[in-house]
Amino acid sequence: MNKIISMFVLLFASITVNAGILLDTGAPNYDSEQCVAQGCNGAEQWWAVSAFTASTDWTITGFEFFAVDTKSVGNANYQSTTWKIFEAQNTTGQIESNADLGAVTYEATIEASTSQYQINGILGDLDIISFLISNLDIKLSEGNYFLAQHHNFSQATNLTIAGTIIPSAFYNTDFAGNPSQVNFGIAQKIFGKVSSIPEPASIALFGMGLLGLGWSRKKKQSK
């Protein structure tokens, strides 16, 4: 009986918590030509905004962003990464102003762990910088969201979004009058866990089964 109860506890625990990568948009394979650092492409500050969906309640523990180092600036001048999560006002992936991004759910400026490597992209070899943010505890309800990112450097640099779908798909949160499609393919990963509580009816049936097994075993022992 104790073994059966132990199996039930382990099963319940495995259902309620699943840790790992919640969203992975794939490896970057080209330069989006839209800047995500200050002082580049004639803009003071560009933000990369991508859409994502929490299919159930999520607890996000970290992000990993990818950018193309078009000027070979490296990460020596890197200072911090600013990120924001917006509630999505619609699911079309089209926004005409900052208001369409919805309310800011979470935001912070954090120093990420950076690493550099090279990959073969559509237009040749790309120097990639990865920005990894860990140890977060962000609880999101089921729904649609936008994740915005910007990387802060001590001097002007030309760091651009590493994309996976359409190079021209971007949105700049600093210029509400310059709308474009939200990029669903910015190369990034979201880490965390999903809480999926079993339905009460399933738990009740499982409990009744345990009681039945316990009664049957007790009856056999009494004979």
pLDDT digits (tens, 9 = 90+) for 199-213: 444 444 445 555 555
pLDDT digits (tens, 9 = 90+) for 52-110: 899 999 999 999 999 988 777 777 788 999 999 988 876 665 666 666 777 888 999 99
Mean pLDDT computed over 6-32: 68
Which tokens hold the place of 107?
């935001």
| Measured distance CA(148)–CA(49) in Å, rounded | 4
Using DSSP, state whether 150 is helix, strand or coil.
strand
| Measured distance CA(191)–CA(61) in Å, rounded | 6
In b/e form, how buried is each residue of 13-27, taking b as 16+ CB within 10 angstroms? eeeeeeeeebbebee
Q: Please, which residues have CB within 8 angstroms of residue 17's CB and are 6 or more apart in sequence?
A: 193, 194, 195
State pTM to two decimals: 0.76
DSSP letter (8 states) at residue 27: -
Band (pLDDT 50/70/90 cuts) for residue 112 is: very high
Are 70 and 160 in contact by the 8 Å Cβ rule? The answer is yes
- Domain definitions of the chain by residue range: 20-199
Mean pLDDT computed over 189-195: 92
